[in-house]
A and B are shown apart, each in its own frame.
Chain A
């Protein structure tokens, strides 16, 4: 999925993933053609990654997600925007998320 992340975009988790909390990490295994390859293709999210993942519910746009994160973390808005958009690009590149709505 090639897409430049816009702050008005709304994302949702792909249906074709298997995800599970394992100790301190959240493991995501994409299912390609119905097969989840734990050997070659398994991703882990840290605490903040998991929080962002949970916010990708298909209802909140990127602006809303960033505002929520600003309220939780004592970090500059610019830094959060960079981190979140970078993270979403990674998820989109690996087809772990789908875009519901894109507003130019």
Chain B
């Protein structure tokens, strides 16, 4: 009865999430991919809480695709009359408006190598969302990465 290596479909994953949230619980799972780098990296452990649709701007949410074949964990960068606008921090384009019904949870915490990561989900999340929406987040992150490399190189 040890933990199996199984592949959950998006629908199954959301079903588990819903069941946990119904019991007022949270789910922890390992992130995959780099669409939210550098704030969420591949392999990070994410704790997902039930979603409340109050002050969602900047929050990172779990969203079920309309086809119910995939789940994404992206940031809310705005709201339009057609729904919430989501976007991966490391992507050039947003996901298009999403209905609130497709949003299944909120990332409450991020853990990387046994350490809590707070950057990206604190109050700065609103600034990140705005920068992402106007498409200057990626250039800024690129500049910061370059500066970090230069500083590191100079120190060594």
Contact = CB atoms under 8 A, between A and B. Distances in A.
A37 B16 contact: no
Contact of B12 (A22, A34, A90): A22
A31 B25 contact: yes
B1 A18 contact: no
Contacts of A44: 1, 3-4, 6
B8 interface: yes
10 contacts: A18-B19, A29-B27, A34-B23, A34-B25, A38-B16, A38-B28, A41-B3, A44-B3, A44-B6, A45-B1
Contacts of B45: 39
Interface in B1-30: 1-4, 6, 8-9, 12, 15-16, 19-20, 23-30
B35 interface: no
Given A18-B19, A18-B20, A20-B19, A39 B28 contact: yes
Contacts of A34: 23-26
Nearest to B23: A31
A94 B12 CA distance: 23
B3 A36 contact: no
Interface of B: 1-4, 6, 8-9, 12, 15-16, 19-20, 23-30, 45, 47
Interface of A: 15-16, 18-20, 22-23, 25, 27, 29, 31, 34-45, 49, 90, 94
A42 B28 contact: no
A25 B6 contact: yes
Given A29-B16, A31-B20, A38 B6 contact: no
B3 A35 contact: no
Nearest to B28: A37
Given A39-B45, A90-B1, A18 B16 contact: yes
A38 B1 contact: no
Contacts of A45: 1
Contacts of B15: 20
Chain A CB within 10 A, most for which of B8, B16, B45:
B16
Nearest to B9: A22
B25 A35 contact: yes
Given A20-B19, A36-B20, A25 B25 contact: no
A34 B8 CA distance: 21
Contacts of B4: 25, 27, 42-44
Contacts of A49: 1
Given A25-B4, A41-B3, A43-B1, A20 B16 contact: yes
